[in-house]
Amino acid sequence: MILEIDVGNTFLKWRLRAGTRVVGSGRHASAAVDELPLMQFQSVDAVLVGSVAGESVNETLRQTLERYGLPSPWFAATAGTACGVTNSYAKPETMGVDRWLAMLAAWRRLGVGCCVVDSGSAITIDLLDDQGVHQGGFILPGMRLLQKALLGNTARVFLNSEEAIEQLRPANNTSDAVAQGAGFILEGVAMRLDTLLGSGLPLLITGGDGPAFRRLMGRGQLVPELVMDGLQLAYVERTG
């Protein structure tokens, strides 16, 4: 069995695969490595990790896995080319591995030019042409990051993306006004992207706020595990 782990800035997601069949999955706070149900993973043959959380979290994850007798994890890295995709960055290693893995999975799934949106703590938008060449992208803060940037941790409750687009209206207190403003920005991003793409370019959407972004766009295919799909592809290509 294969254990795949996607470590983001906010959440750590995992899934357990037996061949092509997913037999378990979960989500935890990104730093809560000890919350992984590691005793369930004793029959794992390999551990694959895609992480943007930094070396400290990665090392904690590595030590925790090895302490429970699991295989030493394989960490994915952004490359110049892989799985038919060509990176546009002069220094490929400076691109976030989550963006890279999502593009690998998108290309394998579609095999044509497309747009890939990962709507999470940050919103990343990347474009591939019909040869699998990255045409560049956009990075902007997501819902929760926008709210935290203005309010820190002082807000009583952060409004989530679904609430924001359902309840979009002027607010009469600072906390709610910031939350509504974040929703306003998310809606504006979706409208501008829709204009940029036109009607013909396929759109794949992933990330925790993916459902809300898909709703605002009114089109596109929602693929919740796109990054982990790319992780699997990168591992197979690298290890043969």
pLDDT digits (tens, 9 = 90+) for 89-144: 999 999 999 999 999 999 999 999 999 999 988 999 999 999 999 999 999 998 88
Residue 159: pLDDT band with limits 50, 70, 90: low
In tens, the pLDDT along 2-25 reads 999 999 888 899 999 998 899 999
Given 98, 126, 209, 229, the catalytic residue: 98
The pTM score is 0.91
Clarify whether 98 is annotated catalytic.
Answer: yes
pLDDT at 28: 85
The pLDDT assigned to 3 comes to 95
Residue, of 126 and 156, whose pLDDT is higher: 126
**118, β-bridge pairs:** 124, 206
* pLDDT category of residue 161 using cuts at 50, 70 and 90: low
**Nearest alpha-carbon partner for 184 in 203, 159, 208:** 159
CB 93 within 8 A of CB 211: no
Q: Which domains does the chain have, with CATH numbers?
A: 2-75 (3.30.420.40), 81-229 (3.30.420.40)
Token pair of 103 as six digits: 């593009």
